[in-house]
Amino acid sequence: MLHRKLFFTLPFTLLLLLLALPALSTADDGIENLRQTSKAFASVARQVSPSVVFIQVESTREGVVLMPFQSPFGDDLFKRFFGDDFPGFSHPQQPQKPQGKQRAVSQGSGFVFASKKGLSSETTYILTNSHVVEGADKINVKFQDGREFDAEIKGVDPKSDIAVIEIKASDLPVTPLGDSSQLEVGEWVIALGNPFGLSHTLTVGVVSAKGRTGLGINDYEDFIQTDAAINPGNSGGPLLNLDGEVVGINTAIFSRSGGYMGVGFAIPVNLAKGIANQLIATGEVIRGYMGIVIQQLTQELADSFGLEDTKGILIAQVSEDSPAAKAGLKTGDLIVEYQGKAVTDVGNFRNRVALTAPGSKATLTIIRNGKRRNVDIKIGDLSDGKLLAQETTQSTEALGLTVQTLTSDLAQQFDVEPGKGVVVTEVKSGSIATMAGIRRGTVILQVDSKAVNSAAEFKQAIKKSSDDKRVMLLISDRGMSRFLVLKW
């Protein structure tokens, strides 16, 4: 009887084991995949960290008090371990230093971009953000191996927030550059930098979105959005793909607390390297210029022009004696292609034109009166003080609204006086603008007591108020004017 039971029990046990093997194998494969991903991150860190630098900037600024010590984690954490008498703590009851011109120290990140050999020396160029080195009296850069160098500014471009600094050194590894146009949403990316002064910190995330424009951070925007943790001090550091190639420059965060909230922005390397090369060659950036005012094509405008979809951007104005006027472009033309590539976004188009060398010829594909045609244009020089392509629409995340320059058509649509103020065309649900009673069709006449008569003027005025996180608006709604103070 015992033998008979074993005869039936053993095959059944073997069957259970065989059925369990695939599950065990799948679990092992999953762990191995995670292990390989982890090793890929570590490989990128080993490869790139030697060319990432910690940047310390000394400057003289109005109204800045330099404290002898400030913990990046806040005083409360240090008090918990060291008590109230830990050196360097600021006590509220102590008198503060008088305001005025004070020495300030700020921090950021950067990476080796290029090098140039001379007869007796070699110059190494480091790419970073313009706001990192703005107003610098002294710049010090420190590498992972402990080497430190004094740096000089080679060139800055505040409009794109790109800067190049140089050091006299050789044998420093140059960071490989990738192609940011090949990035896809959902792709792994790695941020390297020095958040809060913590040297050579690596964080990992994905590409959350591409082509972010209209944020009001820079004049020329085409941001990569990522959830890789970016914090103060990361500015200027590289955003990398899994091949260890730079695909962006970490620049800004969206945060209500000043710290990481899962939304960071990086300048695409394809945009940055063109500007950096100009800064290295000449110390300045010369941008292309057409002389047109453009706006995003909405569904309402598309319907008005008899268009089937909203692909392309609309020419709202052509400046006299501009390259656009000489090429025969007209108000109402719809630009659908530039140099053979589709045009879908105002900000991206502005960047592409700006990076086109002045004096060169470009081809626009437009739709006029329902007919598609090509127009050749000779790109002008924006340094002449003319407009490249002023956006007639601006959005602000802080307030949660979108405004548009008041054209005669919009003035008629919203029954307001043309030429005075900007009209609100969109209000985000739950935003501070909504709670303040601002609605679609509200006209904003002033920002902080300064008249705004175009979307560009509105953008600049709001940008100046961003540090205080407070703005006073004079609005007109249904013929009644009133002042509003918005805080965020």
Which residues does the annotation mark as catalytic?
131, 161, 235
Query: Which residues, in sequence order, are CB contacts of 444 under 8 Å at separation 6+?
Result: 403, 421, 422, 423, 424, 452, 458, 473, 474, 475
* Cα 241 to Cα 190: distance, rounded to the nearest angstrom: 6
Which residue carries 């914090």 as its tokens?
231
Spatial CA neighbour of 125 closest among 110, 108, 137 = 110
DSSP 392-424: SEEEETTTTEEEEE--HHHHHHHT--TTSSEEE
According to DSSP, the β-strands at 371-378 and 264-268 are: unpaired
- Cα 136 to chain center, whole Å? 22
The one-letter code for the residue type at 3 is: H
The 8 Å CB, 24+ separation contacts for 427-430 are 427/400, 427/401, 427/402, 428/400, 428/401, 430/400
What is d(CA 224, CA 266) in angstroms, rounded to the nearest whole number?
Answer: 5
Rounded CA-CA distance 192/255 in Å is 19
DSSP-derived letter for residue 388 is S
Q: What phi, psi does 50 have (nearest 5°)? A: -60, -20
Q: Are 115 and 122 contacting, i.e. CB atoms less than 8 angstroms apart?
A: yes
How many CA atoms within 13 Å lie on the side-chain side of 193?
35
CB 236 within 8 A of CB 127: yes
Continuous segment of H or E residues that includes residue 481: strand 480-487
* CA pair distance 246, 266, nearest whole angstrom: 11
Tokens 């590539």 belong to 341
- φ and ψ of 46, to 5 deg: -65, -40
- Answer for the pair 281, 156: CB distance below 8 angstroms, yes or no: no
Pair 203, 230: CB distance under 8 Å: yes
Any idea what the Cα angle at residue 234 is, between residues 233 and 239, rounded to 5°? 170
